[in-house]
Amino acid sequence: MSDVISFAISDWNLACPSEAQERATRALEAGKVLLFPQLRFPIENGEAQLLSPIAAGRAKNVSLDPASGRVRGSDADPAELKLLQNMMTRWATLSKKLVCQLLPHYAMALQQARTSYRPVEVAGRPTSWRKDDTRLHVDSFPSSPVHGRRILRVFTNLHPQGVTRKWRLGEPFEALAQHFVPSIPGPLPGSSFVLNALGVTKSRRSAYDHFMLQLHDRMKADADYQAKAVRESFEFPSGVTWMVYTDQVSHAAMGGRYALEQTFLLPVEAMRDPARSPLRVLEKLRGHALA
Ligand SMILES: [Fe+2]
């Protein structure tokens, strides 16, 4: 069975049938990628100019804070910045609508985090091993602890020439946690206080965040594991949208550019089956509460 499950949704604004809601919840929490082949993000007047190598050079990796509406990470001029802000704000709104209509029981607890625009080609980008997202990994934020909350991400491929976004998917979370987590030492006493006091983290790093960060690093640093753990390669065509729990699903981005991404955080208790969460899986492995 593929790790990517398709849903025939073609309108961002329509309510989803309850059958689709059930199927989506079960698949998502089981670690599948939900694919929406007919859900194209609408590009509006003038925005096409953002999808070019020159604009990409100015934009790099742009983020939008949904609370303040501020765009960061771009050297674009004011006119282009306004276009970026409009496009990303619309994406933030539509992707939230999609999550709330497909997963309505998440809606009350869902927290909208950063929106990002990824205009730069993934393949061949010079980077450190830790930031190299062409290596299989699960997402963990070094400076923004999540304290056990889920990381749910929605992506769309905007490539104007129809180039796919290439991903690899790895083994199920339970298997990779069993492979890496038992040998990871716990956090040093007082370290979360020190990291927070020094400004390395925006809040105290929980034991859960410590283990997830270590898991992320150990996966990426292990060349042998990287070579053997790929289960499936998948190419997301231009014009499609997809959604996945990136804290749970082992993934690598191998190629592509011009993608939009929206991050949501969800408390574990809001899940249909919290036992599927990385928090509960790691707690079972370590034998005590981690957040
Ligand atoms: Fe990732």
DSSP letters, 160-213, are: TT-PPEEEEE-S-HHHHHHHHGGGSPPPPTTHHHHHHHTTSSSSPPPHHHHHHH
* Dihedral angle over CA of 191, 280, 149, 141, nearest 10: 50
CA of 138 to the centre of ligand 1 (A): 6
CA-closest candidate to residue 269, choices 280, 261, 260, 259 = 280
As residues whose CB is below 5 A from the ion ligand 1, the structure lists: 139
Q: In what order do the strands lie in the sheet with 150-157?
A: 4-6, 33-36, 241-245, 150-157, 259-266, 111-118, 62-64, 71-72
Q: Cα(139) to centroid of ligand 1, in Å?
A: 5
CATH architecture for the domain at 4-286:
Sandwich (2.60)
Torsion of CA 114, 218, 278, 136, to 10 degrees: 60
pTM: 0.95
CA 117 to ligand 1 centroid distance, Å: 14
What pLDDT, on a 0 to 100 scale, did the predictor assign at position 60? Answer: 66
Report CA(270)–ligand 1 centroid distance (Å): 22
- Ligand 1 center–CA 227 separation, angstroms: 18
* Segment holding 263, helix H or strand E: strand 259-266
What does 88-149 look like in DSSP terms, one character per residue?
Answer: HHHHHHHHHHHHHHHSGGGTTT-EEEEEEEE-S--TT----TTT-TTS-B----SSS--TT-
Q: Which helix (H) or strand (E) holds 19?
A: helix 18-29
Q: Can you tell me whether residue 264 is helix, strand or coil? A: strand
Per-residue pLDDT of the chain (291 residues; tens, 9 = 90+): 689 999 999 999 888 999 999 999 999 999 999 999 999 999 998 999 999 887 777 766 799 988 888 888 888 888 888 999 999 999 999 999 999 999 999 999 999 999 999 998 888 887 889 999 999 999 999 999 999 999 999 999 999 999 999 999 999 999 999 999 999 999 988 899 889 999 989 999 999 999 999 999 999 999 999 989 888 999 999 999 999 999 999 999 999 999 999 999 999 999 999 999 999 999 999 999 999
- Secondary structure class of 279 (helix, strand, coil): helix
Q: How far apart are CA 163 and CA 239, in angstroms?
A: 10
- Measured at the CA of 110, the angle between CA 104 and CA 114, to 5 degrees, comes to 130
Domain boundaries, the chain: 4-286
54 Cα–ligand 1 center, Å: 25
CA distance 136 to 231: 11
Going by DSSP bridges, is the β-strand pair 241-245/150-157 parallel, antiparallel, or unpaired?
antiparallel
Distance between Cα 251 and ligand 1 center (Å): 6
Question: Contact at 8 Å (CB) between 213 and 151?
Answer: no
The alpha carbon of 79 and the centre of ligand 1 are apart by a number of angstroms equal to 31
